Amino acid sequence: MPLRRTFITGIGVVSPHGDDLNDVFDRVFAGESSVRKVPVEANGSSCDMLLSPVDFEPGHLIPRLSGRFMARATKMAVVAAHHALEGSGLLVSGAGPAEAGVYIGCGLGGSDQLQDHYERFLADPPRSLSVAGALRIMPSGPASHISMQYGITGPTVTYSIACVSSAVAIGEAFRAIRHGYLDTALAGGTEAQLNPGALAGWRELSVLASEHESGAEASSRPFDAQRTGLVLGEGAVVLVLESESAARARGAELLAEIVGYGVSSDAYNLTEPSPDGQARAMRLALDDASVAGERIGYVNAHATGTLLGDRVEAKAIRDTFGSHADKLAVSSTKSVHGHLIGAASALEAALTVRMLQTGRIAPTANLTDPDPECDMDFVPLVGRDAPELEYALSNSFAFGGSNATLVLRKAMAS
């Protein structure tokens, strides 16, 4: 069977910048930061942490009874799936396409519910536990509830690979459609780790940013010499993927095409990235897309704002593209929305789709003092017009040395 083309026909977001992708992109393009200081309470004390939270209320989109069995990450995923299906025109009488697949990435599952469970269990005296507690904690909860909520009976798969979770989910859904296993899939990721237990773990790794002198909103600073670490965020993003024949048969709007996907493992170090592994993922993705590196006009970098991570990625991009690296526009939208862990790749892919659609490249905000060891065009501070942009990469790299790259193409008129 010949390989089939795969298009994105719907995108649903629940993000720190809102739930309308067009508005979210406009705010990201303008360099508007969602990072702020949030009080975090634990063990009777409180401290402010730099976070990028979501103002989220599912409302009528989640039935009350079903919601009792959902963690925050699951609720956000179900709502994002609703927006994606509705935007694609595939939501009919509250249901999605029955034979579709569901491919969702999630790093930690219902960590908020795990936190609550332990607090109740360890209280003196112990407080009553919810019968649904264990079910809300499962990382597979978001994918399962999307399937049940929208009557989707195809494969329901969860990928939990830290920060590449949703990139792999999207990439594997793309492969399933391209090779003829499915015509339609919902793919993306979700994460809600902004609770004391999870945040304490991240803090102990010494990778979280400190507040910048100009304010909390300027504290996520990828590629900047004054960067101090990453800012954790939360949210959910779901993409509707369809084979070309299925999408064109129903006259669907084609938002962008996925043309390549590459994955690799560093096999090197749990927390220290390797430029060789990252470059291998990019090269595999380009080979998979049958696209020469010189045709790529933009890279949405994984760049989280850590000292080592940004330098390693900059080197990996240079190793991959050679002299063309000097002509590439590269930016990190994490500078304004933070790092959404299991949902990060999906949000960044969605924003890259909008860049291809609009011919506008979002900037790396807060990049006022570029690190001399990260010497490329990182689109500092101000977004730019790129009307000729046709191909873009979206990079995702994770603790454990997992790497994933997606190649996206502007949807061309038939």
Catalytic residue from among 83, 145, 212, 302 = 302
Please report where in the chains the tokens 């862990």 appear, as a residue: 341
Question: Active site residue: 163, 212, 337, 374, which one?
Answer: 163
The encoded tokens of residue 48 equal 């402010």
Active site residue 212: no
382/379 Cα distance (integer angstroms): 7
- Tell me the two tokens of residue 270: 């749990």
Known catalytic residue at 374: no
**Which residue, among 279, 349, 260, 337, has the nearest Cα to 304 in the 3D structure?**
337
Q: Of the candidates 84, 115, 263, which has an alpha carbon nearest to the alpha carbon of residue 190?
A: 84
- Judge contact between 398 and 161, C-beta under 8 A: yes
Q: Which of 17, 82, 339, 374 is catalytic?
A: 339
- Rounded to whole angstroms, the Cα distance separating 352 from 218 reads 22
- Own/partner contacts of 202-206, CB < 8 Å, gap of 24 or more, are 202/232, 203/49, 205/271
d(CA 177, CA 182): 5
| Residue matched to tokens 């704002």 | 305
| Whether residue 125 has a cis bond before it, omega within 30° of 0 | yes
Q: Are 300 and 351 in contact (CB under 8 A)?
A: yes
Half-sphere exposure of 211 (CA within 13 A, CB side): 11
Instruction: Give 3-state DSSP helix, strand, coil % of the chain, rounded to 5.
Output: 40, 25, 35
The residues pairing with 212 across neighbouring beta strands, listed in sequence order, are 215
* Residues forming a β-bridge with 158: 104
Active site annotation includes 339: yes
Amino acid type, 305: G
Phi, psi of 292 (to 5 degrees): -70, 145
By residue count, the chain amounts to: 414
Which residues are known to be catalytic? 163, 302, 339
